[in-house]
Amino acid sequence: YLKQTGEAINFYFAIQDQKTGIKITFAIIYVLIVSLVLFLSVIVAINFASRLTRPIVNLINASEKISSGDFSYKVPDIDTDKEFEKLNENFNSMIDKLKKQQDKLLLSERHAAWESVARKLAHEIKNPLTPIQLSIDRIKEKYLKKIDDDKNFSNYLNTITKQIKDIEHLVNEFSDFARMPKPVLKKIDLNKVIF
């Protein structure tokens, strides 16, 4: 009995040692599986977050570029949800419309600047012409009778007067050219215009 009891005790301790090894092996396998599942879930979460945040980051970058005045920037096309694709498309369309409005505004400002310059220039040129014309008229009144024998004097004064009128005409044309044309309002038949 003593021998059998000794063998039973040895068998028990052998199984006990194997049980500890099995527990350690099970714990290592458990840690590996949990780590693998955790790693895979982190990768899936990063991909999902990237898919969600990349379109938003692109929109933020585009809005920063637009706010700095760069209307040539476009939101890049990426493979994402349909809602984000539609949002990107609408944002790019808005950028195009803003660019067109900016171009129209710049053109309008240029026209206004040229009109202002033309008006001021015409005014500055016309200002001395009036006193010159008045002076010629006074010279005609005062000296034309005194210089009866010289017909060239009258011709000279007429030439100066004619040149003054030509300069006034050119200045008026320049001033009219700079102004935007005035609308012509009239009644029309829409059927004729459309068809």
Handedness of CA 67, 69, 70, 71 (dihedral sign): positive
d(CA 112, CA 109): 5
Say what the pLDDT of residue 122 is: 81
- The 3-class SS string of 22-54 reads HHHHHHHHHHHHHHHHHHHHHHHHHHHHHHHHH
Place of tokens 């024998």: 149
Q: List, for residues 19-59, the tens digit of each pLDDT value.
A: 777 788 889 999 999 999 999 999 999 988 887 788 888 88
Query: pTM score, two decimals?
Result: 0.49
Percent pLDDT > 90 in the chain is 10
Mean pLDDT of 170-177: 78
